């Protein structure tokens, strides 16, 4: 058993099944709202799924982005700048694992339908329960 799977097993056992189910539903609702917002071209609403903090971390490819505002600007440059498109987003193969009462690990695949191409990749998210609800505090996305 790897250290990571041991830690996950310990954390998963510490969360009562009903609470784990509530976490799963709440986290999936955040992600579903992000998909709906993206597909409506509403990047501001999409970003509500992220922790609005300078401590937010977003890793993609070989780049690290620190902070909510910088992450928003990254999305704007890649998907809303002249000649860019947002396309249609889907999240697939989702798994949600509580890491205690206030944190969750999400693994999944994104698929983006653009004109003439369909980029896809894997992502790992860490979410935290905040006073505003569940928010992504770390996003690691690969294509």
d(CA 84, CA 76): 9
CATH class of 16-142: alpha beta
CB atoms within 10 A of CB 34: 20
Predicted confidence (pLDDT) per residue in 11-55, tens digit:
554 677 878 889 999 999 999 999 999 999 999 999 999 999 999
Q: In sequence order, which residues have a C-beta less than 8 Å from that of residue 54 and are 6 or more positions away? A: 66, 67, 68, 69
Do 132 and 140 meet the contact criterion of CB atoms below 8 Å apart?
Answer: no
User: From its phi and psi, is residue 135 left (phi > 0), alpha (psi between -120 and 50) or beta?
Assistant: beta
pLDDT at 94: 98
Q: What is the pTM of this model?
A: 0.87
pLDDT at 3: 46
State the average pLDDT for the chain: 91
Residue 107 Cα distances to 40, 83, 139, 141, angstroms: 24, 31, 10, 10
């Amino acid at each position: 058993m790897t250290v990571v799977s041991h830690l996950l097993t310990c954390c998963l056992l510490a969360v009562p099944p009903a609470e784990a189910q509530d976490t799963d539903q709440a986290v999936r609702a955040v992600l579903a709202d992000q998909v709906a917002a993206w597909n409506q071209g509403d990047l501001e609403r999409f970003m509500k799924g992220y922790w609005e903090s300078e401590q937010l971390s977003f890793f993609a490819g070989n780049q690290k982005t620190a902070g909510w505002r910088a992450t928003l600007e990254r999305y704007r440059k890649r998907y809303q700048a002249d000649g860019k498109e947002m396309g249609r987003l889907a999240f697939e193969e989702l798994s949600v694992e509580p890491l205690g009462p206030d944190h969750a690990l999400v693994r999944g695949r994104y698929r983006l339908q653009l004109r003439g191409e369909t980029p896809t990749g894997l992502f790992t998210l860490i979410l935290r329960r905040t006073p505003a609800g569940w928010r992504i505090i770390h996003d690691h996305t690969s294509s």
